[in-house]
């Protein structure tokens, strides 16, 4: 993956320091200082911190001496590279500061100015006083004040949303609609005043037959009430009928074939707004199939929508995405629907707008030029017809009424005398119009039409400045993208392209002036802020594994790319003018022929109506790739090509937030290697500026998915910037009373389950422990205390304060093997488990930032919760924990989480572990029986309590329920459920949590508690839990903020070998497992360090060990280590060895 600068710059100069410094060649076994970052980014443009954070690290060659430690550092900041090269640090010179810290050194110099570049360098010193440095780097400030935008305005193509905006989002109140319909099979279904697809609506079912029936119902969540039922002597199928529905106030009236159905209006005062749906339902075992034609929607005597279904692409309805074994299609002038409801979704007037601004530069030398660009939801930027970035779905998703992101571009080398700024805006999450799964795009807080804000500054050598600002002088016109939706895909009409529109010589006389945008969006820092987290880029391309004909279609093909991914497809085709090509993105192969091939929006087929439609212009090698949507898929179905495409014409583009790789894991078990890779792909597929659950039907930032698989994510990718952004999503979302949504960013679904929304506390702590930056805690601490106040308040009102004892709504241990989603034992016990965890984490965070009173409060709260939890949930007779629903008996997840969180009193631990192992091995036949919360904790808990063998054996299972079962059934990513026949999404990262266990327990690398210098992997713990008779070797590589760690072990014919790598300036506690060996001898690189029960030879970098709890404990300095422990007897373990892979 790319690791280059996130903001766009064109050049970087190389400078030599005036001081003689050591720039060591790592390949020669020397130490070098490297990876200089300001605000966590190499040479960032758009820094807005008054005191930026500086960081760096060291690298060592394989032959470098062990135990390197920085003893002091000096940071210098200057206003120019030339001054810095002369040693003139006119902004700040820290002086020589004692200490080894390299991760978060705060600037403490003169005030920094907006839009100004500064240069900095760091000098590090070792214990002997030797100096180390890297080449100087720059950081550039962003726009810090509102006036820095120099009058640039938010502009758009339209001030108001079109009247044809989907009624689904407009929530229309008084309206009437009429349509023709013909029942082919089953019954006709109609919905009006429908809010979301199934939660609340009024409905009509027309049943044919002798007699027939006209039934009017009201549905509120799971409750259905019949408002009226009107019989017919007979009602025939295969004949056209007309229906008219009128809703006025609280009254409804209906006409069928121009005759009134209800002489007195029906009345309902509960459902007073909503949209329109047309559909078909099954009847007496017959699949519902209904055709519709000539639909018209009237509001206030104005026709808003009139649809004749003559265009199979641009018609005014959209499928509900949960519609299995069903389809909708428009063909031969009618819309045919089978066993689902389609909702009003007009597509006229939703083109992606183009903007251009021509300007001339002055005939003077340009010394510096910048563009500051913000677009809502997404934008693409051209200067003089050329792209200056390779970003997709840019900028990042946010809660737009609180935060929006801009990007800084260096234009210095790209400007001519005559120039044109060109922009295209995509709707993104800011302006989405298509119906969605939970109605999450209905965000009153911010949704509006796409908007653009930009400022260009041009500085000349004579000291003058020229500016170009977004305002109504920009010209706009509709582009060739007729519709774009993050979820639904794009409709692209290449015939509407305007060649050269983004170049200076284009005639824009027919274009219209831009208008001032309406919407609730920030206009200056801190809300309008530079995007310093990773942009979304193409990170991989794939060619098809196969292309097969869909048998009963003349122009349809099924393309298989061999594995699941998130992204889109690029087509390169010779076309004819007006040729229509549809790309349906599929997670699984379903029907290749028959009516189900039309099911373009089926959750089990595509996940979320993932379709791109191209209307070709008729050019050779015509190329198409969507810009403002992405999909989860393995297959695509191509329709509209009579000639089989070649593999070179169809390319899958994998794209996601371009996080740097952070780690890899390999072991002797081929199954585990596949699980790791599947988990890694699912993590990658669900990082598109926010961590999401899946790339298909939802694409949503569920809070539990931020924290539960955190370790799996962090040991694969560098999360430091993306998760700073994620924490800002929580800060934007939290309400004044401390409530947090289940999904971020959103303005719906307030969360009540601490295991989910309390992830705010969890990831703030985990981020600090992983990357060692206390500012993260300082920034969010007050919000975290506000959230914790909601838990404390609930506990104070309970029967056993501070514990929660009243049944609570929640999601709990989601997706358990018993079927369904919420666990049968209820969510209450999970509320209390996580309440306790967060209290402990808050005490630790209070300690970090010096809040002594808070530390005491949260420590006492945790102690009280622990006692109350055991008093309330632990059954002394049965010897385990119950939730509210005791009839379901022993449940693995509460026991495992209680053990992992340290809630179990010491005297109860052994008995509970024994009971847990019995349930796994006997009742569950060696399987874990857990949902996502239990999966995160259970292997950790077993490992820490002496039964890693049980964890190994369970994770080596390949039958239901297990991740191995997913792999056996063909998974290339992690699924939302354990088995193919019950899973919805085939690319879900929530069950990727075992990757964290493999890294932290199998390989044994972690940061434990607040050690003296632990956070940020300054001081790591390497404590592997090998079970060599089940897995014969394992090896982890992890690039921490301080550098590369490695932890590996393998079983040999003579015993056990351990390979350890610790980066410069770090130390580690290595806890070597004795595996039951007595009087063993341990050597390191051939020298004996332990023999006859005591330390032996002294070895550089290795402290004298001591024996603790069946392990030898060493303190190691930086360097490469090879430990060997010969076996005096057979090395203990359980199960069959998985010697599939040869160790490196």
Instruction: Report helix, strand or coil for 209.
Output: strand
What integer pLDDT is reported at residue 339 of this predicted model?
76
Burial of 53 (0-12, 13-18, 19+ CB in 10 A): middle
Q: What is the DSSP string of 766-790?
A: HHHHHH--HHHHHHHHHHHHHHHHH
- Distance CA(802)–CA(141), nearest Å, equals 47
- Distance CA(1075)–CA(1132), nearest Å, equals 7
Q: What is the DSSP string of 250-302?
A: TEEEEEETTEES-SS-EE-SS---BEEEEEEE-BTTBPPEEEEEEEEEEETTE
- Distance CA(749)–CA(441), nearest Å, equals 12
The helix (run of H) or strand (run of E) holding residue 994 is helix 994-997
**DSSP classification of residue 882:** -
How many helices and strands, by DSSP H and E, does the chain display?
17, 64
Q: What is the DSSP string of 614-669?
A: EE----TTEEE--SS--EEEEEEEEES-SSPPPGGGEEEEEEEE-PPB-EEEEES-
Q: What is the CATH number of the domain that holds 363?
A: 2.60.120.260
Copy the structure tokens of residue 606.
């595509």
Confirm whether 666 is domain-assigned: no
Question: Residues 578, 438: one domain?
Answer: no
Give the model confidence (pLDDT) of 467-514 as tens digits. Answer: 999 999 999 999 999 999 998 899 999 999 999 999 999 999 999 999
Q: Of 504, 533, 562, which residue sits at a domain end?
A: 533
* Sequence-distant (≥ 6) Cβ neighbours of residue 420 within 8 angstroms: 356, 357, 358, 359, 382, 383, 384, 385, 502, 503, 504, 506
Helices 774-796 and 828-848: angle between axes, nearest 10 degrees? 140
- Distance CA(1096)–CA(987), nearest Å, equals 52
Confirm whether 80 is domain-assigned: yes
pTM given for the model: 0.93
CB–CB of 572/648 below 8 Å?
yes
Task: Give the residues of the chain that fall short of pLDDT 50.
Answer: 1-7, 9-28, 322-323, 591-608, 1010-1011, 1130-1144
Question: Residues 324, 363: one domain?
Answer: no
- Distance CA(1043)–CA(26), nearest Å, equals 13
What integer pLDDT is reported at residue 166 of this predicted model?
59
Question: Residues 366, 510: one domain?
Answer: yes
Question: Residues 604, 542: one domain?
Answer: yes
Q: Which residues pair with 874 in a beta bridge?
A: 881
Copy the structure tokens of residue 633.
């898929």
Copy the structure tokens of residue 771.
């990357």
Q: Of 597, 628, 657, which residue sits at a domain end?
A: 657
CB–CB of 1137/1028 below 8 Å?
yes
Burial of 464 (0-12, 13-18, 19+ CB in 10 A): exposed
CB–CB of 97/63 below 8 Å?
no
CB–CB of 650/544 below 8 Å?
yes
Question: Residues 334, 426: one domain?
Answer: no
Q: What is the DSSP string of 402-421?
A: T-EEEEEEE-TTT--SEEEE
Question: Residues 257, 213: one domain?
Answer: yes
Q: Where are the alpha helices (DSSP H) in 43-186?
A: 81-85, 167-170
Question: Residues 364, 462: one domain?
Answer: yes
- Distance CA(691)–CA(712), nearest Å, equals 13
Q: What is the DSSP string of 688-743?
A: SSSB-S-TTTT---BTHHHHTTHHHHHTTB--HHHHHHHHHHHHHH--TTS--BSB
**DSSP classification of residue 607:** S
- Distance CA(345)–CA(578), nearest Å, equals 23
* Sequence-distant (≥ 6) Cβ neighbours of residue 332 within 8 angstroms: none
Question: Residues 526, 625: one domain?
Answer: no
Confirm whether 15 is domain-assigned: no
Question: Residues 494, 552: one domain?
Answer: no
Q: Of 344, 373, 395, which residue sits at a domain end?
A: 344
CB–CB of 271/195 below 8 Å?
yes
- Distance CA(389)–CA(669), nearest Å, equals 41
Copy the structure tokens of residue 747.
């303005």
Give the chain's length.
1144
Confirm whether 942 is domain-assigned: no
Q: What is the CATH number of the domain that holds 1032?
A: 2.60.420.10
Q: Where are the beta strands (DSSP E) in 470-545?
A: 475-478, 481-485, 489-493, 512-513, 515-516, 528-530, 536-542
Q: Backbone phi, then psi, for 818, in 5-degree steps?
A: -75, -5
Structural domain total, the chain: 5
What integer pLDDT is reported at residue 610 of this predicted model?
84
- Distance CA(684)–CA(1100), nearest Å, equals 40
- Distance CA(536)–CA(935), nearest Å, equals 30
Q: How many CB atoms lie within 10 A of CB 383?
A: 20
Give, in order, the Cα–Cα distances in Å from 557 to each of 549, 648, 650, 653, 1125: 5, 15, 12, 19, 59
What integer pLDDT is reported at residue 437 of this predicted model?
63
What integer pLDDT is reported at residue 598 of this predicted model?
38
Confirm whether 427 is domain-assigned: yes
* Sequence-distant (≥ 6) Cβ neighbours of residue 856 within 8 angstroms: none
CA terminus-to-terminus distance, the chain: 24
Confirm whether 781 is domain-assigned: no
Question: Residues 497, 366: one domain?
Answer: yes
Q: Which residues pair with 172 in a beta bridge?
A: 274
- Distance CA(228)–CA(260), nearest Å, equals 14
**Comparing C-alpha atoms, which of 695, 694, 564 is closest to residue 634?**
564
Q: How many CB atoms lie within 10 A of CB 146?
A: 11
Reading across the β-sheet that carries 31-38, which strands appear in turn? 31-38, 53-60, 105-106
- Classify each residue of 767-805 as buried b or exposed e, where b means 16 or more C-beta atoms within 10 Å of its C-beta: bbbbbbbbebbeebbebbbbbbebbbebbeeeebebbbb
Confirm whether 1094 is domain-assigned: yes
Q: Which residue has the tokens 């029960």?
A: 1093
Q: Which residue has the tokens 């988990």?
A: 679
Q: Which domain holds residue 33?
A: 26-142
What integer pLDDT is reported at residue 900 of this predicted model?
98
Q: Backbone phi, then psi, for 721, in 5-degree steps?
A: -80, -40
Copy the structure tokens of residue 753.
């389950």
Confirm whether 906 is domain-assigned: no
* Structure-derived torsion over alpha carbons of residues 974, 977, 978, 979, reported in degrees to the nearest 10: -100
Q: How many CB atoms lie within 10 A of CB 228?
A: 17
Q: Which residue has the tokens 């060591």?
A: 24
Q: What is the CATH number of the domain that holds 66?
A: 2.60.40.10
* Sequence-distant (≥ 6) Cβ neighbours of residue 1008 within 8 angstroms: 1014, 1021
CB–CB of 797/742 below 8 Å?
no
Question: Residues 514, 382: one domain?
Answer: yes
Q: Is 1110 left (phi over 0), alpha (psi -120 to 50) or beta?
A: left
Q: Which residue has the tokens 């549905």?
A: 219
Q: How many CB atoms lie within 10 A of CB 485?
A: 30
* Sequence-distant (≥ 6) Cβ neighbours of residue 900 within 8 angstroms: 937, 938, 940, 941, 944
Question: Residues 550, 518: one domain?
Answer: no
Q: Backbone phi, then psi, for 208, in 5-degree steps?
A: -80, 170
* Peptide bond connecting 211 to the previous residue in cis, omega within 30 degrees of 0: yes
């Amino acid at each position: 993956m790319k690791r280059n600068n996130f903001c766009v710059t064109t050049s970087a100069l190389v400078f030599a320091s005036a001081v003689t410094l050591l720039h060591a060649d790592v390949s020669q076994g020397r130490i070098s200082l490297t990876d200089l970052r300001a605000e966590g980014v190499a040479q960032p443009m758009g820094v807005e911190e008054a005191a930026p954070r500086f960081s760096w690290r060291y690298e060592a060659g394989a032959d470098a001496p062990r135990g390197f430690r920085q003893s002091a550092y000096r940071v210098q900041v200057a206003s120019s590279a030339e001054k810095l090269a002369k040693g003139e640090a006119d902004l700040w010179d820290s002086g020589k500061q004692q200490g080894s810290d390299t991760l978060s050194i705060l600037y403490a110099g003169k005030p920094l100015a907006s839009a100004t570049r500064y240069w900095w360098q760091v000098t590090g010193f070792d214990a002997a006083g030797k100096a180390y440095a890297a080449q100087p780097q720059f950081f550039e400030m962003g726009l810090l004040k509102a006036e820095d935008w120099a009058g640039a305005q938010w502009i758009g193509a339209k001030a108001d949303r079109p009247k044809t905006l989907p009624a689904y989002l407009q929530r229309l109140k008084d309206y009437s609609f009429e349509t023709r319909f013909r029942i082919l099979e089953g019954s006709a279904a109609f919905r009006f005043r429908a809010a979301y697809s199934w939660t609340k609506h009024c409905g009509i079912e027309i049943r044919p037959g002798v007699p027939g029936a006209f039934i009017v119902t009201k549905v509120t969540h799971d409750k259905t009430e019949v408002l009226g039922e009107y019989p017919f002597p007979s009602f025939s199928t295969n004949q056209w009928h007309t229906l008219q529905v009128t809703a006025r106030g609280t009254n409804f009236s209906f006409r069928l074939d121009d005759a009134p159905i209800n002489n007195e209006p029906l009345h309902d005062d509960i459902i007073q707004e909503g949209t329109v749906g047309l559909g078909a339902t099954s009847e007496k075992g017959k699949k519902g199939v209904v055709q519709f034609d000539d639909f018209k929607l009237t509001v206030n005597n104005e026709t808003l929508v009139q649809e004749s279904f003559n265009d199979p692409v641009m018609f005014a309805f959209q499928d509900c995405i949960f519609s299995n074994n069903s389809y909708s299609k428009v063909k031969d002038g009618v819309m045919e629907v089978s066993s689902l409801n389609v909702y009003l979704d007009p597509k006229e007037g939703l083109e992606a707008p183009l903007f251009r601004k021509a300007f001339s530069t002055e005939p003077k030398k340009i010394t510096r030029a910048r563009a500051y660009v913000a677009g809502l939801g997404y934008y693409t930027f051209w200067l003089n017809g050329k792209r200056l970035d390779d970003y997709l779905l840019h900028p990042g998703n946010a809660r737009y009424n609180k935060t929006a992101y801009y990007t800084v571009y260096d234009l210095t080398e790209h400007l001519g005398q005559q120039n044109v700024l060109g922009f295209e805006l995509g709707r993104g999450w800011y302006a989405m119009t298509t119906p969605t799964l939970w109605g999450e795009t209905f965000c009153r807080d911010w949704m509006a039409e796409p908007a653009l804000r930009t400022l260009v500054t041009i500085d000349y050598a004579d000291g003058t400045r020229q500016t170009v600002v977004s305002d109504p002088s920009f010209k706009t016109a509709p582009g060739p993208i007729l519709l774009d939706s993050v979820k639904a895909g794009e409709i692209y009409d290449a015939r509407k392209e305007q060649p050269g529109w983004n170049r200076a010589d284009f005639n824009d006389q027919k274009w219209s002036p831009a208008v001032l945008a309406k919407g609730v969006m920030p206009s200056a820092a801190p809300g309008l802020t530079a995007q310093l987290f990773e942009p979304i880029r193409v990170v991989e391309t794939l060619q098809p594994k196969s292309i097969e004909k869909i048998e009963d279609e003349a122009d349809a093909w099924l393309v298989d790319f061999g594995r699941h991914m998130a992204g889109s497809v690029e087509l390169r085709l010779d076309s004819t003018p007006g040729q229509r090509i549809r790309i349906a993105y599929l997670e699984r192969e379903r029907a290749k022929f028959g009516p189900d091939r039309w099911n373009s929006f089926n959750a089990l087929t595509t996940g979320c109506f993932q379709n791109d439609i191209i209307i070709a212009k008729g050019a050779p090698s015509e190329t198409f790739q969507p810009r403002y949507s992405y999909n989860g898929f393995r297959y695509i179905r191509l329709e509209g090509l009579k000639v089989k495409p070649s593999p070179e014409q169809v390319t899958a583009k994998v794209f996601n937030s371009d996080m740097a790789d952070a780690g890899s894991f390999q072991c002797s078990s081929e199954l585990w290697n596949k699980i790791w890779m599947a988990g890694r792909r699912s993590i990658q597929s669900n990082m598109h500026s926010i961590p999401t659950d899946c790339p298909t039907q939802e694409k949503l930032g569920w809070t539990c998915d931020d924290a539960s698989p955190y370790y799996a994510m962090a040991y694969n990718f560098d999360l430091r910037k993306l998760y700073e952004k994620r924490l800002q999503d929580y800060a934007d979302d939290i309400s004044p009373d401390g409530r947090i949504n289940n999904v971020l960013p959103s303005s719906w679904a307030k969360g009540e389950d601490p295991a989910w929304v309390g992830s705010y506390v969890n990831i703030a702590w985990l981020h600090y422990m992983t990357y060692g930056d206390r500012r993260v805690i300082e920034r969010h601490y007050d919000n975290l205390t506000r959230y914790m106040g909601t838990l404390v308040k609930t506990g104070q009102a309970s029967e056993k304060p501070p514990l929660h004892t009243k049944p609570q709504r929640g999601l709990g241990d989601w997706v358990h093997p018993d079927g369904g989603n919420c666990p049968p034992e209820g969510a209450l016990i999970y509320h209390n488990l996580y309440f306790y965890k967060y209290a402990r984490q808050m005490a630790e965070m209070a300690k970090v930032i010096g809040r002594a009173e808070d530390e005491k409060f949260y420590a006492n709260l945790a102690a009280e919760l622990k006692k109350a939890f055991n008093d309330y949930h632990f059954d002394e007779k049965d010897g385990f924990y119950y939730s509210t629903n005791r009839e379901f008996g022993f449940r693995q997840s509460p026991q495992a989480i209680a053990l992992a969180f340290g809630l179990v009193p010491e005297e109860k631990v052994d008995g509970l572990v024994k009971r847990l192992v019995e349930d796994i091995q006997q009742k569950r036949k060696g399987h874990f029986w857990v949902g996502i919360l239990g999966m995160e904790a259970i292997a950790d808990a077993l490992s820490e309590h002496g039964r890693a063998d049980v964890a190994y054996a369970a994770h080596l299972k390949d039958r239901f329920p297990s991740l191995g079962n997913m792999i056996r059934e063909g998974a290339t990513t992690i699924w939302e459920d354990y088995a193919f026949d019950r899973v919805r999404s085939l690319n879900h990262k929530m069950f990727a949590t075992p990757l964290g266990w493999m890294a932290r327990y199998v390989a044994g690398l972690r940061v434990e508690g607040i050690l003296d210098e632990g956070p940020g992997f300054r001081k790591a713990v390497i404590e592997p839990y090998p079970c060599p008779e089940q897995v014969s070797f394992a090896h982890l590589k992890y690039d921490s903020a301080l550098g590369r760690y490695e932890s590996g072990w393998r079983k040999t014919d003579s015993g056990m070998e351990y390979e350890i790598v610790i980066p410069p300036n770090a130390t580690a506690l290595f806890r070597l497992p004795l595996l039951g060996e007595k009087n063993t001898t341990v050597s390191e690189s051939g020298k004996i360090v332990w023999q006859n029960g005591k330390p032996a030879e002294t070895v550089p970098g290795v402290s004298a060990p001591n024996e603790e709890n069946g392990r030898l404990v060493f303190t190691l300095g930086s360097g490469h280590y090879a430990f060997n422990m010969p076996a005096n007897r057979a090395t203990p373990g359980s199960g069959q060895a998985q010697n599939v892979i040869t160790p490196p």
